[in-house]
Each structure stands twice: as structure tokens, then as C-alpha cells.
Structure 1
Amino acid sequence: MQAIFNVTLPFFALVLCGYLAARARVLPEAAIPGLNAYVLFFALPCMLFRFGSTTPIAELLNPIWLALYVGCAMLVVFLTVSHSLATGIGLKDSAFGALVAAFPNTGFMGVPLLVALMGERAAGPVIMTVLSDLFFTSSLCLALAQSHGAGDLRQGVQKALRGALGNPLPWSIALGAVFSVAQLSLPGPVAQIVKMLADSATPVALFTIGAVLWRANQAVHTRTPFAHFAPVVFVKLVVHPALVLAIGLLFIRLGVPLDSFSLTVLVLAAALPSASNVSLLAERYGADNGRIARIILWSTALAFLSFSFAVGLFGGKTA
């Protein structure tokens, strides 16, 4: 467990540093969007391009991993929306609650953390989860949110898919996959620039997560009842990875070609805290951002222990 904490502690400590820097105004609030843009449009795409260019395309689009992960995400969405509606929460807010329950922070945190823990072999499965969440999970939840009061689910799905295609992350993964299949390589100076940007992705992304969490919490002007956000945190940190593990073990028992290493990576990806950018989406779509911000904040704070425990329980090994 000490070896696991040696890897996970710096990751979560950088998130805390970003939170405290923003809270103390050492990092001006006006600088947070710039940090977020740097990670999203420069550093993280370069990191994902590098992993995509060295990962076989069969892993990036593995149908077994895709079926398992997307199927579990859909179950989490259904479970969370059903529970939220039953407690009197509207469809739009229920949909965003489901999004933070099923969409882990794989882009900003998961890829570098799981590669650090389990080696570069983990890049394929975890990058597949990034694509799955961008195109399936987020599209479904945003479509549900936009159908609130209008009933036009089809139009909501189309708008959500256009949003996913406007995200630079899947395009960087796709470009890396093209380089992998064609066995291409970047010219020396360009490769060095990409490397420098990619190397900056992890620390800046983690620091930015903390700053974004502080800003989201500052923007909250209403008090969210504990019963409206605590169950979603539990679903994210416990139910989601447990579902992936249980159904993955069922796959193996039925003879489906799923190896234990890949299953472990998918379980740990599901055990990550909620994606921090969902608070921005909630604000943009007029949902209860206070509830979403609290879910993300608590899932991130508690994940230091729950995720580290999951790594030890499911046999993750530090690289």
C-alpha cells in the first residue's frame, strides 16, 4: 500500500495545490480559463497523441472493452437518473447527476495516473474509456438534459455528438492511431515540441482540476441537501467500479476474451473521481451547478482513499 500511496499522493496533492492556490488568490480567478484551455487544446492532446501513436488501434477500439465499459456506464446512468427522479429532482439535474456518476476524470487525471501505476500497457484501455465517455456517456446525458421540457431526444443527441466532435481529445487520439497504423513518426523538432507539451500535461492538468473545483464551489449560491449529492458520490466511487468488475468477471466466466489486466484498468478507470469539466457544462446548460460542484468536489476528495484502496484490492502494480 505504501508503494501505491507513493504514486497516488503526488497526483491528488497537485489537485489540492491548485485548489489552495485559487482559494488564496495566488492564482487569479481570471487565469483559470487560460489554464484549462492550455491543458485541453495543447498539453493533453499531445499526451494522448503520443500514447495513441504507440498503441495498437485494435486496443483503442477493442469491442469487448467497449461493450463492457459502455454497458456499465449506461447502467449507472439509468440507476442515477431513476434515483434522482424518485427523490424529486428534475430531469435536467438528474441527467447531469448521472453524467458525474458515470464520467470519471480519465482525461485530466486517469491516463497519466493509471500509466504511472500500471505501465504504458494501461494506455490502450484507459484511452478507450476517454472515447467512450465523450461519445456515449456524455452524449446520452446531455441529450436527456436538453430534452427536459422539450421532449426532443433526437435533437439533443445530435447536438451532444456535435459537441463531442468539437472536443480536441478524440481527434488527437485518432491522429495518433493514424501514425500508429501507418508507422509514421514526427520530424525531430516537432516531436520534441510535442514531447514538451505532453510532459507538461499531467502537472498542469492536476493543478487546473483543483482550481476549477474551487471556482465551481465559489459559484454556488444555493445549499444542496446532503441527500441530493451523497448517493451520487457513492455511485461514482463504489457502484460504478463494482459494476465493471462484476460484469467483467461474468464476461471471463462466459469465455469472453477479456484478460485480467485490461479488466483491472477498466475497473480503476471507473473508480476515478467525477470529471471536473462537467461543472462547466452544468453551468452552460442551466442545471443545478451547486449540486454538480459538490459531487465533483467530494468524489475528488474521497477518491484519494477509495481509489488507492481499489488499486491495492484489484492488484494494480506500480510501474
Structure 2
Amino acid sequence: MLQIFLVTVPFFALIAAGYAAARGGLLPLAAIPGLNAFVLYFALPCMLFRFGARAPIGQLLDGGVALVWCLSALIVVGATVALSRHGRIGWNDAAFGALVAAFPNTGFMGVPLLVAILGAQAASTTIITMAFDMVVTSSLCIALSRLDGADGHGAAKALRQALRGIFQNPMPWSILLGVLASATRFTFSGPIERTVAMLAEAASPVALFTIGAVLARSAVLAREHRASAAVAQALGSAAGRSPPSQAALADVLPVVAIKLLAHPLLVWALAHGVRALGVPLGGPALVAMVLAAALPSASNVSMLAERFGADDGRIARIILWTTVAAFFSFPLAAGWLGQGVSTPSL
């Protein structure tokens, strides 16, 4: 267990550093979109391409991994929506709560962390899960979020918007190009290879630092919103108006529990179930999937929630709580699954 903590602590320390820098004002909030752009459009695509290009093509087309992850994502989304929808929470907020429960932070955090713990063979499994969540899980939840609208075509319109966003996202394309490079055994040479390698090596530290900065920005904006709400309450109380309330713990903690506890346990159970039915699924892939599910929620879901008019404050709190709690829960999950797994040192 101590060995696993020694691997995971630097990852969470970089997140904490980004949080402290943004919360303390050392990193201006206006600079965070620039960090996001560097990670999303330059560093992470290069890292994903390199992992994909170096992985055997059979690992990148593992049907057992895709089946288990698909079933688990659909169950988590359906269960979270069913448990969340009530008087305060409609389809929009319930759908984004389901997305944040089913979509782990595999891109910014999962690939480098799982490779550090399990070795390079974990990259292909993690890439499969990430590609599915970016294409299928996100599109499904965005479509569900539109069911609140009076327009009967709202879900179809949202689905088209989600698909447009996927085509504009460089990460799925970098994964696809990596798969093609693996299949054709294509490699860059000379300065191009070194440039791609330098960007890929920058992905992990900058992405982790950016996660912390994004979480701090959400906290700062929430603090400003509460201050504005207090002023609005003082000014509007005479008129009988009340300011919007902060997301209740009852609307946050169940989703946190689903993400960090129910999701990895469900993946573990489904993986053993499909193996019992004869579906080929290797032990290393099973471990990588369960640990991917045990990761905190994807940090970009709060931006999606804001874009589609959902309660982004609630989503930001879920992401923050899962990230803090995962500092303890993730090493426990890795230690539980790590019997017989060699943990490389950094």
C-alpha cells in the first residue's frame, strides 16, 4: 500500500499545487483557459497518439473491455438519473450528474497515473474507456439533458451538438491516428518525433496542474456567486424574492459515492460476469478498467454543464469532492487489486 501511495501522491500534489496557485491569485483565472488549450490541443493528443502507436493493435481493439465499459456506463447513467430526478432536479441537472458519475478523469489524469502504476500495457485499456466516454457517454447524457425542454426535437438537437463537439475535439482523432499508426507500424523520425515526444512529456504535469486550477476557479466563482446572492437577498427580500441556494449535500454526496464506490465495483462485477460467459478479458485489462472507474470525475464536465445551462455549481462540487476523496480511495482500490501487480517506481 505504501508503494502505491508513493506513486499516487505526486499526481495529487500537482493537482493541489494548481489549486493553490489559482486560489491564492498567483495564477490568474484568465490564464486557465490557456492552460486548458495547451493540454487539450497540443500535449494530450501527442501523449495519446504515442501510447496508441506503441500499443499492439489487438489491445486497442479489445472487445471485452469495450463491452464491460459500455454496460457499466449505461447502468451508471440510468441509475444516477433515476436516483437524482425529483422536485429540485430535472432532466438537465440529472443528466449532467449522471455524466459526472460515469465519466472518470481518464484523459488529464488516468492515462499517466495508470501507466505509472500498472505499466505501459494499461494505456490501451484506458484509451478504450476514454474514447467510449467521449463519444457515447457524453452524447447520451447531453441528449438526455434536453428532455426538460418543450421542444420535442431538443434531444436530437443536443445530440447533434454533442457529435459536432466530438469532431472538433482533437483527442478522439489522436486516438484514431494512434490506432492507425499501430496497425501500419508507422513512426515519425528525426525532429518531428522529438517534438511530439516533448509535447507528450509535458502532458501529465500540465494536465494535473490544470485540474487543480480548474477546481479552484469553480470555488472562486462559487464564492463570488454566494456574495452576489447575499447582496441580492438583502436588496430583494422586501420584494419577496429569494436568491438561488447552493447545491444541497443530498444532491452531491450520492453522486460522489456512485463515482468512487459503485462504479468501480460495478465494473469489477461485470468483468467477472463476462469472463464467466466466455468473453476473453485479461487480468491486466480488468485491473486497469476497475482503476479507471475509481478515478475522480472528469473536470471538463462542469464546463459542459455551464454550456448547456445545468447547475454547474453542483457539478463542480461533485468533481472537487471526488478528487479530494480519491486521494484516499484510489490507493485503497489499487492496493486491493494490486496483488501480483508490479508497481513501477517513478
TM range (shorter): over 0.9
Mapped partners of 2:41, 2:309: distance in 1: 25
**1:84 maps to amino acid:** S
Shift of 1:285: 1.0
Is 1:202 the equivalent of 2:225? no
Q: Distance in 1 between matches of 2:28 and 2:342?
A: 38
CA shift, 1:87, in A, is 5.9
User: What's the CA shift string for 1:37-64, capped at 9, x where partnerless?
Assistant: 0000000000001001111233223221
CA distance in 1, matches of 2:268, 2:319: 23
Structure number with greater Rg is: 2
Q: Aligned AA for 1:18? A: G
Runs (5+) with no aligned partner, structure 2: 226-244
Structure 1, 308-317 or 229-238: larger mean CA deviation:
308-317
Distance of aligned partners of 1:87 and 1:125 in 2 relative to their CA distance in 1, 3 Å threshold: farther
For residues 151 and 219 of structure 1, do their structure 2 counterparts lie closer, same or farther at Cα, with a shift above 3 Å needed?
farther
| Residue correspondence of structure 1 range 184-199 to structure 2 within 5 A | 184-199=186-201
* Residue type of the alignment partner of 2:50: R
Deviation at 1:219, TM superposition (A): 2.1
AA of the residue aligned to 1:188 = G
Say if 2:47 and 2:203, in contact at 8 Å, map to a contact too.
Answer: yes
TM-score, with structure 1 as normaliser = 0.97
Residue equivalent to 1:270: 293
Matches for 1:178-257 after TM superposition, within 5 Å: 178-220=180-222, 221=225, 222-257=245-280
Match of 1:159 among 133, 146, 161: 161
- Provide closer, same or farther for how the CA distance between residues 313 and 289 of structure 1 changes in structure 2, counting only shifts above 3 A: same
Work out whether 1:298 is the aligned partner of 2:318.
Answer: no
Structure 1's consecutive aligned runs of 4 or more residues displaced over 6 angstroms after TM superposition are none
Kindly report the root-mean-square deviation, in angstroms, between the aligned alpha carbons of the 2 structures.
1.2
- Could you tell me which amino acid in structure 2 is paired with residue 296 of structure 1? I
Note the alpha carbon deviations across 1:208-267, whole angstroms, 9 max, x for none.
000000111222234111000000000000000000001111112222211121111000
Q: State the number of aligned residues.
A: 319
Paired residue type of 1:57: I
Matches within 5 A, 1:1-319: 1-86=1-86, 88-149=88-149, 150-152=151-153, 153-220=155-222, 221=225, 222-315=245-338, 316-319=341-344
CA distance in 1, matches of 2:92, 2:54: 40
Q: Note the residue ranges of structure 1 that are not aligned, 5 or more in a row.
A: none
TM-score scaled by length of structure 2: 0.90
Q: Distance in 2 between matches of 1:10 and 1:151?
A: 48
Aligned-partner residue type, residue 27 of structure 1: L
Cα offset, 1:281, TM superposition: 0.8
- Give the letter aligned to residue 205 of structure 1: A
AA of the residue aligned to 2:281? L
Separation in structure 1 between the aligned mates of residue 299 and residue 64 of structure 2, nearest angstrom: 28
Q: Distance in 1 between matches of 2:63 and 2:159?
A: 22
Mapped to 1, the partners of 2:161 and 2:55 lie a distance apart of 30
What is the rounded CA distance, in whole Å, between the counterparts of 1:225 and 1:155 in structure 2? 31
- TM-superposed deviation, 1:88: 3.7
Give distance in 1, aligned partners of 2:282 and 2:188.
33
Give the Cα separation in 2 of the matches to 1:148 and 1:168.
30
Question: Once the 2 structures are TM-superposed, how far is the Cα of residue 86 of structure 1 from its aligned partner?
Answer: 3.7
Are 2:60 and 2:125, in contact at CA under 8 Å, matched by a contact in 1? yes
